[in-house]
Structure 1
Amino acid sequence: MIIARLFEVFPAEAEKELGFQIENFLLAETTDSVITAFSLLSVLFSIDSGRAADIFASEWMQQFKMTPSMTHSEPTMLAILDCLSSACVSKQCREMIGAKFEKDLVQLLQATVSQKIKLYTATILTKLSFKPKDPKPKGSEPQQEELLSTLESLSSIFEQSVPDKDLRKQAVEGLAYTSLDQNVRMGIIVNDELLKQLVECLKSNDSSLVYGALSVFANLAVYPPRLSPDQKKVADLKKYAEAVQEKEEELAQITKQTDKRCKILVDLKIPAILSALVNKLKPNARSVAGTILTSLAEQKSLRGVLTQQGAVATLLYILCDTDAQLEPASKVFITSGLAKLLVSTNPSLVFGAKISASVAVIPLLANIDNDFSPLPLLDSFESALALTNLASFDDTTRKVIISHGWEKIENMMTSQNPMVQRSAVELVCNLSLSPYCAEKYLDGSKAANSRLNLLVALTDLSDEAGRLAAMGALAMLSEWDPAPPIMVKNEKLMACLQRILDKDTEVEMIYRAVALVGNLSQKEGGKLGSLKPGLVRVKSMVKDMTAEVDDILTRLK
């Protein structure tokens, strides 16, 4: 606390004085002084990693060497290793540790009989294994195999240490790194006892242990990165330039393996555990929990079980938590998981007295055309589908969607992407149940007439689902009291109905057109005489509409 306060009030002076004291402790070369020096520096990394890295890179640290007497003293080595592990947070420090200590660490790992020292050493070597490296040419495959072999052997040290409560924290931290590797993940997921131990870690009161376990589960669930077409082209060019070709078959295989791992995690009830623990997690841990649930939601067959285990409520808690301070990219990713679940879920099974469906609206709208999304079209499409589902739930939810998202919805309706456009039109179709949506089209203003004209134009889309949704929206709007006198005055709408009734052979379009004409005829039948021939044609073509058409014809003049 004292050191933290000093660095808060007098950062530059504190760095200079602490660096001076650490140097003196190291120069003394006694067991206690070396332990004190590295312990102080380790603490500083948790307070101000930038200033700690500057001290770590000092000339006197460059000259420091591990002596045989140090390596034979467990307390001394643990202090040194703990500091080196903390220092790996800095790229500059990792490079220095790799250049100066890696050989010593490998020898120490092979020679030590202390499981604790072995564990700390393995953790540092693992962190060094994931430091950025220059692209290697084709002749680098043996080195890559050697690295994988090393990671798997290091991971086995961590796996063996997890059951030991005294070593568990360090072991889980190591696994959080080694599980970044695909081969290591496959080894972890088939180790039932290890998975049980990791689940126990989630229930710990030690926040760093919980975070480590969450990181392991996040790595087990992670899919290959989502890339836009442009990003994929860039990635392919990079692979070509580096002469390291990653085949599509390999990616498909990785995805299959990830599917299996995610199924195991859901069977372990990880979503239910996260749901029970989420309000106790620290903000950074909540973000990881949201990442796990989003990865699990990638697989359609798991979404129902995820919802049953409380995943929707958990994601909403994470997204709506003002203290979470989610990074924009993380928020986009976690919201995409919420969208996937809500696309596949009956809202009445999730929302009700405890959770309002309108709570989900704001994050979903934020994911439409989001600048931080790597795949803005996909995220916009999925968010619109989720909102369409929510719009079928209640009028309160529809009102929130309209009041907060109407501009975005209208922009999507004119999107060049047919899937995005379709999703927006389908959303408007469901929103047409709301008087607030009806007002947008039927208040008699120029803006309302323009919106009506756009819907009419969309009935001629090449995309079948899109044009059906547009005609469905018009039919729904025609049920509102102000609709008949306004709609019959719209020449484009009347021409559209004439075309469909006279010539269209698409039965679903005809059903919607007849429903629309039926609603208009309740008040304005005298102005719809021109539609009679088309209705007669429909009556002879679609037999199950005979009674409905006859009823409409009695009101036309």
Structure 2
Amino acid sequence: MSFQRSLYEGIDPSVPISPDGDPNKKISLGDQFILLLARLMEGGKEDEDTCTELNTLTKLLHDDSSDETKSKEPHRPLWELVDTDSVETILSYLDMRQSPSVRGHATLTTSAYLKASGDKGVEQLSNFFYSRVAKGTYDDFILAFSVASCIFPIVPDVTATLFLSEGFVAGLGPLMKRKWKSKKVEQAALDMLNAACMNTACREAIQKYCTEWLEEIVNDVPESFVEVPSPDRQQVAEDGPIQQRIHSEKVRNLAAVVLAKLQAVPSDPTAGSEARIQPVTTSIEDLSDLLKNSLTIDSSQQSSIEGLAYASLQPKVKEKLAGDSTFIETLITALNNAPAKSPSTYGALSILVNLTSYMPALSEEQKHLTQLKAYANASRLAPKLDPLNDDEHVSKRCQVVFKAGIIPVLVTHSQHGSVASLAQVVTIVFALSKTAQIRGQIAQQGGVKLLLHAYSSFPSESFAAQRTAAHALARILISTNPSHVFGGSTPLPLTSAIRPLLLLLTDDLTVEHRDLLPVFESLLALTNLASTDDSARNPIIRLAFSQIEELLLSNNKMVMRATVELLCNLMLSPECVAKFADGSKQASHRMHILLALADSEDPATRRAAGGALASLTEWDTAVNAILERDRGVVILLALCQEESEELRHRGVVCVLNVLTAPGKVGEWGIKKVKDEKGTEALKECLKKSRSQEVLEITVEALKKLLQGTTPDATAATGS
């Protein structure tokens, strides 16, 4: 090869390559690059050495294409040194017969070259593909198909153009059926089809021309070797004897994966093309059975996992997979054994996401909009929810997955996975957390730690994933004792959960309609945390009091109630008391709102507001603020006459605190309670109450009130 000979002229191959451009080396950057290409052309090295050289080549191309990392040494752009022979050398390492590690490094090198070379690289790639396909030999087909499958994710538009060249897809099925009976060629072709399914136009072409061939691979399998006709048994291809109608398990799985993608992500045929498209006769359920059985036999089969990731989008397949406990255990084992950031990990997580995800709840307005869109699309009816996707069925599937031991495996994968796989992990935990009965177990198995780690690991642009993690955390913390999750032997500080929960109180700007469920559940979780001590209460007050104030006036009854319940627990902190009792106009306004809530139509809201007032009235400045309101004492006495024992308890505590406030505030309190017929209200409270504690407090309040009305009592000034 003339190019290869020129590479060695004047260069000692024994001199080590210095990718960092060490100035002590006499070799220029361009010479280093050329020498590296020459060594790759030689071949015959160990995979580890090949990967090292490909990695170095990738780095040189990547650094040279960026102004920030480009060498200051004057030199010709490195990508221009990659001629046709060099391109063929690099692409040859994408051959499916190479080891996965070599193919992976070669893929990165190809990506770096195409990025640096632009249109010139695309031209080189196209020429390589067309020339190999035109030659039509066994090795050429394998290499061309292998290259196409590897570069599809890198340059999908470019590769789709190659794939859709006239006659290529149309002739693929007949070519495989008539000429090639080689499992290697077949596997390479199916790998290419599998990758091509990511493109809509390619997927339509595959469905149009290749469905019959794919179904033949999946279904036309004799029960025994002797059923294959003798002439077929004798045919030989370069990779060994193979029968026309006997396909390897891997090839069958790949064909099933492609068919599953065609059915799971159907394409809308263009006008007039319906009759030409080959119909799929193998059902998605049959395909999932084939892939499931294959995975059960060998849990490391990546193609089976990938196919099931698509097939499990269908409700019937979800239900069938979840009903097979052996399969679920096998899937979790496969996930546990899969390397971090691998396709197998992502595929297994995708299956679990499909099995456990609930359908989004729609408001009446959203349902109406869905119907309008259906009418606009000339549909008679809006699409109906499949019964197998309703909450009852999803809940059962979630419990099956949880009982199979998924949480510890997710905890492990959350530590080293990619952002995409971490988002899937969080989605699964979020779905499982909807079942209140298992929240405590999720926390015990490391679910809270997982979610806090995920929340802090997501980049700022992964806002939706952060909210999902925070929402799952809220659900778990609603149903668990904070002291069992934080503190003690657990290194997790309780305050680490506050910021994620507060995120849910803000508007989600990524959605058109605000969902108040996350707000409600966050408030419940914060209420639980605020039941501990001031180390939890004070950060909530400092970070979110303005949001709490706003939510006190929410139009949603449940949100308003939950906010008042949170405020009730926060009121145990002097910092919160000061917000209502520092004598400012703002504090007076807050007291007015709290008293109004204690007079709400909702008993639960009155109970929570009464609890907050019971804590607040322990401070004389707060009592003074209540007495300044015209109806302040009236509302407290109304609580004392409630039918609920809990509400009467809160009412009499408030009244007693008013009556026993020190100095002139207490005197003013006695007068106002008496003027508002407090004696009668307290006597009625005595008649209704059965609790010993309530009776004792009421008697004490009556005594104080009666003592304050004796002639010897100091006259209240009311000031």
Scaled by the length of structure 1, the TM-score of the pair is 0.89
Higher relative contact order (CA 8 A, sep 6+): 1
Q: C-alpha offsets along residues 401-453 of structure 1, whole Å, 9 cap, x if unaligned?
A: 22222222222111111111111111111111222222221222211111111
**Residue identity opposite 1:444 in structure 2:** G
- Report the Cα offset of residue 468 of structure 1: 1.7
Counterpart for residue 337 of structure 1: 472
Distance 1:216 1:96, change over 3 A: same
Distance 1:166 1:222 in 2: 23
- Give yes or no for the alignment of 1:552 onto 2:701: yes
Counterpart for residue 608 of structure 2: 469
Distance 1:121 1:505, change over 3 A: closer
- Give yes or no for the alignment of 1:398 onto 2:532: no
- Give yes or no for the alignment of 1:483 onto 2:616: no
- Report the Cα offset of residue 147 of structure 1: 7.3
Counterpart for residue 210 of structure 1: 345
**Residue identity opposite 2:595 in structure 1:** V
- Report the Cα offset of residue 245 of structure 1: 7.4
Structure 1 unaligned runs (5+)?
A: 136-145
- Report the Cα offset of residue 201 of structure 1: 0.9
Q: C-alpha offsets along residues 517-546 of structure 1, whole Å, 9 cap, x if unaligned?
A: 322323222011221331443234325444
- Report the Cα offset of residue 70 of structure 1: 5.5
Counterpart for residue 107 of structure 1: 216
Distance 1:116 1:366 in 2: 47
Match of 2:654 among 513, 516, 519: 516
**Residue identity opposite 2:655 in structure 1:** V
- Report the Cα offset of residue 252 of structure 1: 7.6
Q: C-alpha offsets along residues 460-512 of structure 1, whole Å, 9 cap, x if unaligned?
A: 221111122122212222224643344433434234335545x6555433322
Distance 1:184 1:162, change over 3 A: same
Distance 1:149 1:262, change over 3 A: farther
Residues 170 and 209, structure 2, Cα contact 8 Å, conserved in 1: no
Distance 1:253 1:201, change over 3 A: closer
Distance 1:397 1:79, change over 3 A: same
Residues 170 and 210, structure 2, Cα contact 8 Å, conserved in 1: no
Distance 1:96 1:133, change over 3 A: closer
Distance 1:51 1:409, change over 3 A: farther
Distance 1:51 1:331 in 2: 35
Structure 2 unaligned runs (5+)?
A: 1-107, 221-244, 270-278, 709-719
What does 1:141-540 correspond to in 2, within 5 Å? 150-165=283-298, 168-206=301-339, 207-236=342-371, 242-243=379-380, 251=387, 254-322=390-458, 327-352=462-487, 353-368=490-505, 369-372=507-510, 376-480=515-619, 482-500=621-639, 505-520=643-658, 521-523=660-662, 524-528=665-669, 529-532=671-674, 533-540=677-684
Distance 1:58 1:518 in 2: 88
Residues 116 and 167, structure 1, Cα contact 8 Å, conserved in 2: no
- Higher share in helix: 1
Residues 42 and 83, structure 1, Cα contact 8 Å, conserved in 2: yes
Give percent identity, aligned residues only: 32
Secondary structure class of the residue paired with 1:392: coil
Residues 198 and 213, structure 1, Cα contact 8 Å, conserved in 2: yes
- Report the Cα offset of residue 242 of structure 1: 3.5
Distance 1:36 1:246, change over 3 A: closer
Distance 1:117 1:59, change over 3 A: same
Q: Which moved more, 1:120-129 or 1:538-547?
A: 538-547
- Report the Cα offset of residue 375 of structure 1: 5.6
- Give yes or no for the alignment of 1:74 onto 2:183: yes
Match of 1:39 among 138, 146, 164: 146
Secondary structure class of the residue paired with 1:225: coil
Counterpart for residue 141 of structure 1: none
Distance 2:282 2:533 in 1: 56
Distance 1:16 1:228, change over 3 A: farther
- Report the Cα offset of residue 122 of structure 1: 0.8
Counterpart for residue 13 of structure 1: 120
Distance 1:195 1:298, change over 3 A: same
Q: C-alpha offsets along residues 202-252 of structure 1, whole Å, 9 cap, x if unaligned?
A: 12243221221122222222223322322223345567864567778x638
Counterpart for residue 129 of structure 1: 263
Secondary structure class of the residue paired with 1:371: coil
Distance 2:532 2:160 in 1: 54
Q: Which moved more, 1:66-75 or 1:347-356?
A: 66-75
Distance 2:288 2:158 in 1: 31
Distance 1:505 1:218, change over 3 A: closer
**Residue identity opposite 2:152 in structure 1:** F
Distance 1:303 1:415, change over 3 A: same
Residues 525 and 555, structure 1, Cα contact 8 Å, conserved in 2: no
- Report the Cα offset of residue 158 of structure 1: 0.7
- Report the Cα offset of residue 172 of structure 1: 0.9
Distance 1:106 1:375, change over 3 A: farther
Residues 299 and 333, structure 2, Cα contact 8 Å, conserved in 1: no
Distance 1:104 1:348, change over 3 A: same
Residues 228 and 375, structure 1, Cα contact 8 Å, conserved in 2: no
- Report the Cα offset of residue 280 of structure 1: 2.8
Q: Which moved more, 1:153-162 or 1:236-245?
A: 236-245
Residues 287 and 326, structure 1, Cα contact 8 Å, conserved in 2: no
Residues 299 and 334, structure 2, Cα contact 8 Å, conserved in 1: no
**Residue identity opposite 1:527 in structure 2:** W
Residues 221 and 292, structure 1, Cα contact 8 Å, conserved in 2: yes
**Residue identity opposite 2:332 in structure 1:** V
Secondary structure class of the residue paired with 2:509: coil
**Residue identity opposite 1:358 in structure 2:** T
Residues 31 and 70, structure 1, Cα contact 8 Å, conserved in 2: no
Q: Which moved more, 1:67-76 or 1:421-430?
A: 67-76
Distance 1:403 1:113, change over 3 A: farther
Q: Work out which of the two has the higher radius of gyration on C-alpha atoms and give 1 or 2.
A: 2
Secondary structure class of the residue paired with 2:491: coil
Distance 2:352 2:154 in 1: 27
Q: Which moved more, 1:365-374 or 1:386-395?
A: 365-374
**Residue identity opposite 1:232 in structure 2:** K
Q: How many residues align?
A: 544
Residues 504 and 510, structure 1, Cα contact 8 Å, conserved in 2: yes
Counterpart for residue 142 of structure 1: none
Q: Which moved more, 1:3-12 or 1:368-377?
A: 368-377
- Report the Cα offset of residue 26 of structure 1: 1.4
Distance 1:233 1:349 in 2: 45
**Residue identity opposite 1:188 in structure 2:** L
- Report the Cα offset of residue 11 of structure 1: 3.5
Distance 2:548 2:631 in 1: 22
Secondary structure class of the residue paired with 1:203: helix
Counterpart for residue 89 of structure 1: 198
Q: C-alpha offsets along residues 310-365 of structure 1, whole Å, 9 cap, x if unaligned?
A: 22222222222145x77433443343322222212121121114112222222222
